[in-house]
Amino acid sequence: MNKKSIGSYYTPLNLAKFIADYCLSQLDKLNISVLEPSVGDGNFVQAINETEALNNFNKIDLTIVEREKEELKKAKKKKTRDSIALAALNKDYLNFHFENKKKFSAILGNPPYVKSNYLTDEQKALAKEIHLEQNLADRKINNIWTSFLVSGISKLQKDGLLAFVLPLELLQVKFTEEIRDLLKTSFERIEIFMFDELQFLECKGQDTVLLIGYKKHKVPGTFYTTIKSMDELQNSSFRLYSNESVSESSKKWTHHFITPEEHTFLENIKQDLNLVSDYVDNKAGIVTAANNYFIVDKEILDQYDLEAYAKPIVQKGFFVNGSVAFNRNDYSKLIKENKPAYLLDFNNLDVENIPSNVQDYIELGEEEKLQDRFKCKQRNYWYQVPNIAKQSKAFFFKRAHEYPKLLKNEANVFVTDSAYNVIIKDGHSLNDFIFSFYNSLTLAFAELEGRYYGGGVLELTPNEFRVLPIPMAHHNDFKSYKKDFKGKNDIKDVLLKYNHQILNNSLNLNLEEINKIESIRMKLVNKRHRK
């Protein structure tokens, strides 16, 4: 069984030791009970066994649960202290949740990160039932770690604490919004530790946070810190900051990435601004359900003689780097580089009299079982891509690496669902909107509103794009701006030249304030890129 399917990315021992030392020292009892719901190779058992905090207790009842028998054996061997009474259970924690009603003083661990498509039907049903027990409205299980967290909250004593190593998506994504609300209502105090260093090197791109929740605490609130190195943890040289404006939010907790003062500074400026949604509408691009088949290069187009069915399209964001407009020359370059730049539109095909060349290509798709794909099965004819409507005057790619990409569509191309069609509202200038979008303030909020993925990728959903604040300004010569933008090495050069014009003219911000905004933006970008 591979690691991906069981979510077994084991907690580094030094991190497990910090969690054990830090959390157990908070418990003021002579006898405590601890649960580790997914013990893996036993680093938490070893950490509890070696912690100096163990001397504070007469006895620790330690329950460990692990469905992989060999891993459980390894974990059991790491218990040597007589003061620890170990109960080692070889079972799926989802079953344990319903079978064992014991409440614990502390629950420590690193639950598995397993996406729904890797779960069995039984696991999905059990995970859903755990969510139902807490009356969560969103019953869809996106990843199993949420069920472990929800279960852990329910198994704490009235003065207990929970410490879990969790994916960064806890702070960012929509499907965890209810989980964040549950955390706020379940714990008097929440501590969030973020890390500049990846904790799971074998799990590429998986950013994690340490969440500690206290059912009771003398100093309530939500606190956060960013850990630059493990030395900082081991020496306890970190400082926890409170940010109530973030804590009270029902949305993202991504604002924890900046200081409370920086957050307040940005929010105060934002109050005076309209949002992207005041100027434009945005709609998803074309969903083909099989881009490699429906979007082809010139070679495939010629091989099957499909030119009569081809429409121009930009498939991916990295095809449009370093520009604020996509023109016919840019499109011709994609073709010359043999990029997939032709969308095959068979909607006007006479299905009773299909030409042989098209029939050959349809049969090629059927050999690949494309007709059995979910979205293809919903169509009258699987090979007819729906919603190929009119091209928009601009588009915005939902994923980016250096900075979000908003471009004027001068080549009149279509885009896939990797982008959003952008439609300017009546009474507004598309040129001014695009020019105004590229400023440090709007781009900083893009970092805050979006979510991060492996490799430093930033993604903005349609709703996240719509709520970005935008200081509207005017450029007298958009043609020269396009040339200027294209001639810059990166977005920092563009911002250096135009930030003042946009932010000073629209908001009357001085140079110090503008530089401060750019500094916050870079702080967020570097966080995303792990610099």
Minimum mean pLDDT range among 171-185, 243-257, 321-335, 398-412? 243-257
Whether 232 and 250 share a structural domain: yes
Structure-block tokens of residue 308:
């009569």
Whether 271 and 336 share a structural domain: no
Q: Summarize pLDDT for 55-75 with one digit per residue, the tens.
A: 899 999 999 999 999 999 999
Whether 211 and 265 share a structural domain: no
State the pairing for strand pair 59-65/84-89. parallel
Does the pLDDT at position 303 exceed 90? yes
Does the pLDDT at position 250 exceed 80? no
Instruction: Look at the block and give the residue holding tokens 């924690």.
Output: 93
Q: What is the pLDDT of residue 98?
A: 96
Q: What is the pLDDT of residue 6?
A: 44
Structure-block tokens of residue 79:
């218990």
Q: What are the φ and ψ backbone dihedral angles of 401, each rounded to 5 degrees?
A: -110, -65
Whether the CA torsion 275, 280, 282, 285 is positive or negative: it is negative
Minimum mean pLDDT range among 260-269, 378-387, 428-437? 260-269
> How far is C-alpha 257 from the geometric centre of its chain's CA atoms?
14
Q: Which residues pair with 190 in a beta bridge?
A: 213, 222
Are 463 and 426 in contact, with CB atoms under 8 Å apart?
A: no
Rounded Cα–Cα distance for residues 307 and 358 (Å)? 11
Mean pLDDT (whole number) for 506-511: 94
Q: Summarize pLDDT for 410-420 with one digit per residue, the tens.
A: 999 999 999 99
Whether the CA torsion 243, 249, 255, 257 is positive or negative: it is positive
Whether 319 and 268 share a structural domain: no
Distance of CA 81 to CAs 61, 77, 78, 429, Å?
12, 11, 9, 72
Whether 349 and 329 share a structural domain: yes
Does the pLDDT at position 2 exceed 50? no
Number of H helices, E strands in the chain: 24, 21
Task: Please report whether residue 416 resides in a domain.
Answer: no
Task: Please report whether residue 353 resides in a domain.
Answer: yes
The model's confidence at residue 479, banded by pLDDT at 50, 70 and 90, is very high
Whether 139 and 47 share a structural domain: yes
Q: What is the pLDDT of residue 177?
A: 83
The model's confidence at residue 268, banded by pLDDT at 50, 70 and 90, is very high
Rounded Cα–Cα distance for residues 27 and 107 (Å)? 12
Mean pLDDT (whole number) for 76-99: 93
Whether 144 and 129 share a structural domain: yes
Q: Categorise residue 458: left if φ over 0, alpha if ψ from -120 to 50, beta otherwise.
A: beta
Task: Please report whether residue 415 resides in a domain.
Answer: no
Rounded Cα–Cα distance for residues 91 and 69 (Å)? 8
Rounded Cα–Cα distance for residues 319 and 331 (Å)? 9
Per the prediction, the chain carries an average pLDDT of 90
Q: Summarize pLDDT for 136-152 with one digit per residue, the tens.
A: 886 778 899 999 999 99
Does the pLDDT at position 42 exceed 50? yes
Rounded Cα–Cα distance for residues 504 and 487 (Å)? 24
Does the pLDDT at position 489 exceed 50? yes
Whether 72 and 110 share a structural domain: yes
- What single string gives the DSSP state of each residue in 463-481? HHHHT-B------S-HHHH
The model's confidence at residue 284, banded by pLDDT at 50, 70 and 90, is very high
SS (H, E, C) 382-400: CCCCCCCCCCCCEEEECEE
Q: Which residues pair with 458 in a beta bridge?
A: 400, 452
Cβ count within 10 A of residue 112:
21
Q: Summarize pLDDT for 195-239 with one digit per residue, the tens.
A: 876 554 444 445 788 999 999 999 998 898 888 888 888 888 888
Torsion of CA 133, 134, 139, 145, to 10 degrees: -100
Q: Please tell me what DSSP assigns to residue 2.
A: -
Q: What is the pLDDT of residue 4?
A: 39
Mean pLDDT (whole number) for 393-407: 94
Q: Summarize pLDDT for 112-140 with one digit per residue, the tens.
A: 998 888 999 999 999 999 999 998 886 77
Does the pLDDT at position 1 exceed 50? no
Q: What is the pLDDT of residue 235?
A: 83
Structure-block tokens of residue 176:
């965890």
Q: Summarize pLDDT for 340-350 with one digit per residue, the tens.
A: 999 999 999 99
Q: How many domains does the chain have?
A: 3
Does the pLDDT at position 3 exceed 50? no
Instruction: Look at the block and give the residue holding tokens 């100096």.
Output: 52
State the pairing for strand pair 419-424/394-397. antiparallel
Structure-block tokens of residue 71:
């891993």
Task: Please report whether residue 411 resides in a domain.
Answer: no
Instruction: Find the CATH number of the domain harbouring 237.
Output: 3.40.50.150
How many residues in the chain?
531
Q: Summarize pLDDT for 154-168 with one digit per residue, the tens.
A: 999 999 999 999 988
Domain containing residue 328: 285-392
Closest CA to 141 of 164, 113, 167, 172: 113
Does the pLDDT at position 247 exceed 60? no
Q: What is the pLDDT of residue 244?
A: 64
Does the pLDDT at position 312 exceed 90? yes
Whether 272 and 331 share a structural domain: no
Q: What is the pLDDT of residue 170?
A: 85
Whether 168 and 212 share a structural domain: yes
Task: Please report whether residue 326 resides in a domain.
Answer: yes
Task: Please report whether residue 88 resides in a domain.
Answer: yes
Task: Please report whether residue 412 resides in a domain.
Answer: no
Task: Please report whether residue 362 resides in a domain.
Answer: yes
Does the pLDDT at position 248 exceed 70? no
Q: What is the pLDDT of residue 200?
A: 44
Does the pLDDT at position 406 exceed 90? yes
Whether 75 and 177 share a structural domain: yes
Q: What is the pLDDT of residue 56?
A: 92
What's the whole-model pTM score? 0.76
Whether 431 and 527 share a structural domain: yes
Does the pLDDT at position 379 exceed 60? yes
Rounded Cα–Cα distance for residues 273 and 276 (Å)? 10
